[in-house]
Amino acid sequence: MSPGDALGRPAVEPAAAAPRNAARHSAARAAAAVDRVLEARDLHLSFGAIQALVGVNFHVAAGELVSIIGPNGAGKSSLLNCLSGFYAPSSGTIRFDGRDIGRASPPRRAAMGIARTFQGIQTYPSMTVRENILCGCHCRMRTGLIAGALWWGPSRREMVRFVDEAEAIIEFLELEPLRHTRVGELGYGLRKRVDLGRALAIDPKVLILDEPMAGMNADEKGDLARYILDIHDARGVPVVLVEHDMEVVMDISDRVMVLEWGRTIADGTPAEVRADPDVVRAYLGQE
């Protein structure tokens, strides 16, 4: 169906997506053994005398939704910052799609397909929803500044293609009524959704979400959890989620990794992690 057809709807066939629920965990695990999209081995990171990460191993496999949990200061954000290139670990390797990316800059990693959202609001308030999402396409643009300024052939065609992609994301995130609204006028939950949309615009091969639900009410959390699952199911994008809301984490994750004082204390299915004595001690304290 041509894009100009009024009847063209996004057709997502069930076969294209990973299975869910009961079947999901085992399938994801089977995949894990063969296809690690992003992997960190024996990461160490310290700030002066403080050891933020102590020999942490981490991986996310194709089609997997992994959550990282832990008390404040456990090293969750430090791990994400190492993965996305904002921190350089003092030792250890990070591999993406089988390649060592330890020396790649954050923009380089974004261009490779590692998308990340940050804690708090990082959208551009004076730009519209669609413009914010289009910003995510920037790192994929092939035509340069001069071609863009002259607005000639390839640059123009590229823009038309990206607008269409941005619109597909707008439809996916149900932002149609707000596409031309300035993000500064939106509420917190919607801005986070736009933030997620911008991350999707880089056409990610892995999506890293740092506390996307902090400060949201229950409805907003439910909505966002739904979108994260849909991204994961419909697009098959592996997701790395750092989140404090245990209910959400246990509900949507394939696998949960628990950090404490820079060390991994548990790594398994939500049920396994919930029953792990070390996790119970870390979260509930010890007598």
Partner 1 sequence: MKSPHGAAGDDARDPHGETLPRLLRRRAAEHGAHDFLRAKRHGVWAATSWAAALARIEALARAMIALGVQPGDVVALVGENLPEAYLVQYAALCAGAAATHLYPDASAAELGFVLENSAAVLLFAEDQEQVDKVLQLPDALAALRGVVYLDGRGLWDYDDPRLQSFERFVGGAPDDAAARAALDARIAAASDLDLAALCYTSGTTGEPKGVRLTHRHLLDNAYRLVASFGIAPHIDYFSYISPAWAAEQFIGIALGVLAPSVVHFAEKPETVPTDLREISPQFLLFTPRQWEMIASQIEAQMLDAKPLRQRLYRWAINAPANLRWLADALILRAIRDNTGLARAQIPISAGSGLSAEIFRRFHALGIPLKNLYGSTEAGLVSAHWDGDAEPSTLGRPLMVAPSVGAALELRIAADGELLVRGGAGFAGYHRNAAATAKVLDAEGWFHTGDAMHMLQSGELVFLDRVKDMRRLANGAAFPPQTIENHLRASPFVRDAIVLGDETRGFVAALINVDAGIFGRYLESRNVGWGTFAELSQLDAVLECVAREVAKVNAMLPAPSRIARFATLPKELDADDAELTRSRKLKRAVIDERYRALIDSVYAGDERCELTVSVIYQDGSVGTVRAGVRILSTDAAAVAA
274 binds partner 1 (CB under 8 A): no
How far apart CA 94 and CA 72 sit, in angstroms, is: 24
Q: Which is nearer to partner 1, 12 or 275 (CB)?
A: 12
One of 3, 144, 154, 184 touching partner 1 (CB under 8 A)? 3
4 binds partner 1 (CB under 8 A): yes
Contact stretch for partner 1 (CB under 8 A) within 4-12, 39-47, 60-68, 278-286: 4-12
251 binds partner 1 (CB under 8 A): no
Q: Which is nearer to partner 1, 164 or 247 (CB)?
A: 164
Q: Which is nearer to partner 1, 32 or 170 (CB)?
A: 170
CB of 11 to partner 1, least distance (A): 4
Size of the site for partner 1 (CB under 8 A): 34
One of 42, 100, 176, 185 touching partner 1 (CB under 8 A)? 176
Q: Which is nearer to partner 1, 21 or 72 (CB)?
A: 21
| 103-132 positions binding partner 1, by CB under 8 A | 130
Q: Which is nearer to partner 1, 68 or 173 (CB)?
A: 173
219 binds partner 1 (CB under 8 A): no
The DSSP secondary structure of the chain, one letter per residue, reads --TT-TT------GGGS---THHHHHHHHHHHHH-EEEEEEEEEEEETTEEEEEEEEEEEETT-EEEEE-STTSSHHHHHHHHHTSS--SEEEEEETTEE-TT--HHHHHHHTEEEE-SS--S-TTSBHHHHHHHHHGGG--S-HHHHHHT-HHHHHHHHHHHHHHHHHHHHTT-GGGTTSBGGGS-HHHHHHHHHHHHHHT--SEEEEESTTTT--HHHHHHHHHHHHHHHHHH---EEEE-S-HHHHHHH-SEEEEEETTEEEEEE-HHHHHH-HHHHHHHH---
168 binds partner 1 (CB under 8 A): yes
CB of 14 to partner 1, least distance (A): 5
Cα distances (Å, whole numbers) of residue 213 to 34, 224, 242, 245: 31, 7, 9, 8
Tell me if 186 sits within 8 A of 178, measured CB to CB. Answer: yes
144 binds partner 1 (CB under 8 A): no
Q: Assign residue 2 a region (left: φ > 0; alpha: ψ between -120 and 50; beta: otherwise).
A: beta
Q: Which is nearer to partner 1, 1 or 34 (CB)?
A: 1
147 binds partner 1 (CB under 8 A): no
Q: Which is nearer to partner 1, 127 or 214 (CB)?
A: 127
- x-or-dash string of contact with partner 1, 8-47, rule CB under 8 A: xxxxxxx-xxxxxx-x------------------------
The residues binding partner 1 (CB under 8 A) are 1, 3-14, 16-21, 23, 130, 163-164, 167-168, 170-171, 174, 176-177, 179, 230, 233-234
